[in-house]
């Protein structure tokens, strides 16, 4: 059994087929890239997997359980968390509170509170939040307002919120967008380290060097369809992939 099984997943918006009969898998501990030109359907596929958008057709299984049609918080509680292409940071809340939203979101839905009592639940949320902040290097600025963080740090704040859910599968939508070369290299090392700790990751990125450099497999979408699904060296040399990017790449 694969960690994530995506079968014949399709999403139509009126006459547009944003994601068209996509089938792929993610194995336990894998680091997979998802690339494709603008409008290829990458974010839509992420939304379909994480419960933010309803499928028109198809099946998504996570740890063997069908999760299509499940609300996002229920999907997250099962261990699948994500970040967003557009940052969702609450600027007037502290860094700590921004991240604890992730832990609360999951634990609020679980039976933990009923079993261990309110106090223990608050302690557990706090512990998860601190752990996530430490992991991304934001523990020292936990009480700062999120508005005071640099753009680069806000990206880590978003990742910390996802990590506070203690996921087994993390979906990252363009985490390097807007970062400079050295920030991108640091992010690459960070994603690798998360993966080395056993976390399965699916990464949407336009930065080819980043994707090809850290992913063991790359899935390519074009106009909603999967046109390649192979190791980076094979994808790089695939004529269908080159054609999909013609006129798009500089």
Ligand X SMILES: Nc1ncnc2c1ncn2[C@@H]1O[C@H](COP(=O)(O)OP(=O)(O)OP(=O)(O)O)[C@@H](O)[C@H]1O
Residue 100 within binding range of Mg ion, rule CB under 5 A: no
d(CA 5, CA 200): 13
- Min dist CB 42 to ligand X, Å, is 3
Contact 164, 128 (CB under 8 A): yes
Local structure of 93: helix, strand or coil: coil
Residue 39 interface partner, choices Mg ion, ligand X, none, CB cut-off 5-8 Å depending on type: ligand X
- Min dist CB 56 to Mg ion, Å, is 18
Q: Where are the beta strands (DSSP E) in the chain?
A: 4-13, 16-26, 31-35, 57-62, 65-66, 80-82, 169-173, 200-204, 217-222, 225-230
> Cα 178 to chain center, whole Å?
17
Local structure of 176: helix, strand or coil: coil
- Min dist CB 159 to ligand X, Å, is 18
Question: x/- contact string, 30-69, with Mg ion (CB under 5 A)?
Answer: ------------xx--------------------------
Report in angstroms the alpha-carbon separations of 210 from 15, 29, 205.
34, 18, 8
Kindly indicate which of the ranges 84-92, 134-142, 180-188, 211-219 contains the residues binding Mg ion, using the contact rule CB under 5 A: 84-92
Residue 38 within binding range of ligand X, rule CB under 6 A: yes
Residue 129 within binding range of Mg ion, rule CB under 5 A: no
Tell me 178's DSSP state.
Answer: T
Residue 50 within binding range of ligand X, rule CB under 6 A: no
Please, which residue, 79 or 224, has the CB nearer to ligand X? Answer: 224
Local structure of 55: helix, strand or coil: coil
Kindly indicate which of the ranges 34-42, 71-79, 179-187, 209-217 contains the residues binding ligand X, using the contact rule CB under 6 A: 34-42
Kindly indicate which of the ranges 10-18, 123-131, 152-160, 240-248 contains the residues binding ligand X, using the contact rule CB under 6 A: 10-18
- Min dist CB 100 to Mg ion, Å, is 27
H or E segment and range at residue 220 = strand 217-222
Options 36, 79, 105, 167; binder of ligand X; rule CB under 6 A? 36
Local structure of 24: helix, strand or coil: strand
Beta bridge partners of 33: 203, 218
Question: Interface residues for ligand X in 83-102 (CB under 6 A)?
Answer: 85
d(CA 20, CA 41): 9
Beta carbons within 8 Å of 161's beta carbon, 6+ residues apart: 83, 98, 99, 101, 102, 132
Options 30, 31, 42, 156; binder of ligand X; rule CB under 6 A? 42
Chain residues in the site for ligand X (CB under 6 A): 13, 16, 18, 36, 38-44, 85
Q: Give the binding site for Mg ion (CB under 5 A).
A: 42-43, 85
């Amino acid at each position: 059994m694969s960690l994530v099984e995506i079968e014949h997943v399709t999403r139509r918006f009126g006459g547009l087929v944003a994601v068209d009969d996509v089938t792929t898998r993610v194995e336990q501990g894998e680091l997979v890239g998802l690339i494709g030109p603008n409008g290829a359907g990458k974010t839509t596929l992420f939304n379909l997997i994480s419960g933010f958008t309803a499928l028109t057709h198809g099946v998504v299984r996570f740890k063997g359980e069908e999760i299509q049609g499940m609300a996002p918080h229920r999907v997250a509680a099962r261990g699948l968390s994500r970040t967003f292409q557009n940052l969702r940071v609450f600027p007037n809340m502290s860094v700590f509170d921004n991240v604890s939203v992730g832990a609360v979101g999951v634990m609020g839905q679980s039976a933990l509170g009923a079993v261990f009592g309110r106090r223990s639940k608050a302690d557990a949320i706090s512990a998860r939040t601190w752990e996530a902040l430490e992991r991304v290097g934001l523990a020292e600025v936990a009480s700062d307002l999120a508005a005071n963080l640099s753009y680069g740090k806000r990206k880590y704040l978003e990742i910390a919120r996802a990590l506070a859910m203690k996921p087994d599968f993390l979906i990252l939508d363009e985490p390097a967008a807007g970062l400079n070369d050295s920030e991108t290299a640091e992010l690459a090392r960070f994603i690798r380290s998360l993966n080395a700790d056993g976390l399965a990751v699916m990464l949407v990125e336009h930065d080819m060097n980043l994707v090809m450099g850290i992913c063991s497999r790359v899935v390519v979408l074009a106009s909603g369809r999967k046109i390649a699904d192979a190791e980076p060296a094979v994808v790089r040399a695939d004529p269908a992939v080159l054609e999909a990017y013609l006129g798009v790449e500089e």
